[in-house]
């Protein structure tokens, strides 16, 4: 839990945007009344109309980033921005498949991540243009923006300290599918090459020549934790699910080992990525 003004603010997994929006408005009103300011006075001081200040205090209207930053600066209180950011992240859950928010929370806590993907590049490794292209079908512009933003905000876990260890096996089919055209694919493959240079990130390609049965059942991710526990995440078109069943986890660990054994070595994988990069140049 995040403590704010003596109150506990839930983290992403259990937060409700409406309750946090009310908290933002109540906080703004308390800070204004503590100064004995009218709506007009605070509006004049901050450069907003009194009607706008009233909306920020009493309605469920979305809080613009600039207003949150202005309030944080005026009151010398960074929690205005922090609350607004949590509201925004929590609101994105409405656009994500069931189970995916839980996966994001667990991924954030994991010390190791092993993932196998078939048709698309792993979400953590996706360039924004690629993510937008691959997620665009059937989405409204608003929903697409939120889904892509949720995906992009996960990226810092690739480089934060202490380093999480990542192993990605990408089926060659994901490199062959021309998502978004040459420019998008060029940017995406270059990102894979760049990420493969990180000390904690291993990217391997499972070539078309491999016929191992272990690669036929679709994508999955194995999350490992500091205490030795593991979870498995699987994802389909309409469902994302975190699995805690030890037998399922054990089978996935064996599958991943077999797939890794069939994948190209790191150097050969980079060479193949380079070949695909040239195809889109």
Question: In the CATH scheme, what architecture does the domain 97-279 have?
Answer: 2-Layer Sandwich (3.30)
Average pLDDT, the chain: 87
> Does residue 271 surpass a pLDDT of 60?
yes
Going by pLDDT thresholds of 50, 70 and 90, the confidence category of residue 10 is: very low
Q: Nearest-CA neighbor of 52 among 18, 30, 28?
A: 28
- Tell me how far apart the alpha carbons of residues 274 and 193 are, in angstroms, rounded to a whole number: 8
Q: Looking at per-residue confidence, does 150 or 199 come out higher? A: 199
Q: Give tens-digit pLDDT for 182-202.
A: 999 999 999 999 999 999 999
- Where are the chain's structural domains? 2-93, 97-279
The predicted model gives 217-229 an average pLDDT of 93
Residues 44, 48, 54, 58, CA torsion sign: negative
- Model confidence band, residue 40 (pLDDT cutoffs 50, 70, 90): very high
Over the stretch 84-113, which tens digit does the pLDDT of each residue have? 877 776 666 666 677 788 898 899 999 999
Query: 2-93 has which fold?
Result: 434 Repressor (Amino-terminal Domain) (1.10.260)
CB atoms within 10 A of CB 192: 25
Helices 50-58 & 17-34 angle (0-180, nearest 10): 130
Whole-model pTM: value is 0.70
**pLDDT (mean) for 26-51:** 95
């Amino acid at each position: 839990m995040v403590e704010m003004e003596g109150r506990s603010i839930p983290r992403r997994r259990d937060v409700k945007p409406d309750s946090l929006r009310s908290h933002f408005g109540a906080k703004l009103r308390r800070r204004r009344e503590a100064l004995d300011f009218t709506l007009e006075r605070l509006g004049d001081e901050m450069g907003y109309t009194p009607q706008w200040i009233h909306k920020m205090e009493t309605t469920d209207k979305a809080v613009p980033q600039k207003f949150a930053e202005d309030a944080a600066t005026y009151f010398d209180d960074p929690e205005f921005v922090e609350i607004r950011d949590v509201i925004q992240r929590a609101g994105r859950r409405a656009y994500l498949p069931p189970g995916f928010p839980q996966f994001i929370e667990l991924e954030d806590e994991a010390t190791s991540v092993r993932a196998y993907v078939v048709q698309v590049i792993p979400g953590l490794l996706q360039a924004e243009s690629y993510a937008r292209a691959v997620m665009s079908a059937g989405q409204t512009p608003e929903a697409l923006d939120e889904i892509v933003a949720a995906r992009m905000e996960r990226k810092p876990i690739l480089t934060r300290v202490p380093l999480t260890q990542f192993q990605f096996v990408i089926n060659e089919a994901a490199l062959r599918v021309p998502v978004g055209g040459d420019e998008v694919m060029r940017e995406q493959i270059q990102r894979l090459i760049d990420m493969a240079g990180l000390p904690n990130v291993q990217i391997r390609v499972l070539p078309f020549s491999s016929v191992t049965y272990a690669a036929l059942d679709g994508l999955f991710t194995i999350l490992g934790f500091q205490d030795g526990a593991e979870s498995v995440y699987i994802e389909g078109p309409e469902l994302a699910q975190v699995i805690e069943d030890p037998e399922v986890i054990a089978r996935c660990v064996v599958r991943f080992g077999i797939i890794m054994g069939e994948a190209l070595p790191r150097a050969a994988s980079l060479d193949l990525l380079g070949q695909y990069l040239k195809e889109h140049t």
